[in-house]
């Protein structure tokens, strides 16, 4: 999981997804709408995507990291959004300034 964690540490928000995943698209769109500029790692387009995907399976889902912290997958992101906590996390990570 070292490579995933290393990539996640390079940006205030990192999303590991697949380019043809509609749920991943929804999460990326949501985060973009708040003004964040996440690092997007499309595993089906990334040079060592299969290797990263094996590491990600240990997390059990397509992970999103905010502030170098593993937040979870789409369910966790949507729950944070509905509770009004997603924007707070993005602000705390200095991913947005609104």
**Is residue 98 included in any domain, yes or no?**
no
Helix (H, G, I), strand (E, B) or coil at 19: coil
**Is residue 33 included in any domain, yes or no?**
yes
User: What pLDDT score was predicted for residue 98?
Assistant: 65
Along the 98 residues of the chain, how does pLDDT read in single tens digits? 889 999 999 999 999 999 999 999 999 999 999 999 999 999 999 888 999 998 888 876 678 999 999 999 999 999 999 999 999 999 999 998 76
User: Is residue 47 packed enough to be buried (19+ CB in 10 Å), middle (13-18) or exposed (0-12)?
Assistant: exposed
Query: Pick from 43, 47, 55: which is nearest to 6 by CA?
Result: 55
| Residue position matching structure tokens 């999460």 | 27
**Is residue 57 included in any domain, yes or no?**
yes
Contact by Cβ (8 Å): 28, 17: yes
Structurally, the chain folds into a number of domains equal to 1
CATH number at residue 36: 3.40.30.10
The boundaries of the domain holding residue 5 are 1-93
**Is residue 83 included in any domain, yes or no?**
yes
pTM of the model: 0.92
Helix (H, G, I), strand (E, B) or coil at 67: coil
């Amino acid at each position: 999981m070292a490579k995933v964690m290393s990539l996640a540490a390079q940006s205030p928000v990192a999303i590991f997804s697949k380019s043809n995943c509609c749920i991943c698209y929804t999460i990326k769109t949501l985060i973009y709408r708040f003004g964040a500029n996440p690092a997007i790692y499309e595993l089906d387009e990334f040079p060592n995507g299969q290797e990263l995907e094996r590491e990600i399976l240990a997390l059990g889902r397509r992970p999103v990291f905010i502030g170098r912290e593993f937040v979870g997958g789409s369910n966790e992101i949507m729950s944070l959004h509905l509770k009004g906590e997603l924007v707070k996390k993005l602000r705390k990570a200095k991913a947005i300034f609104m």
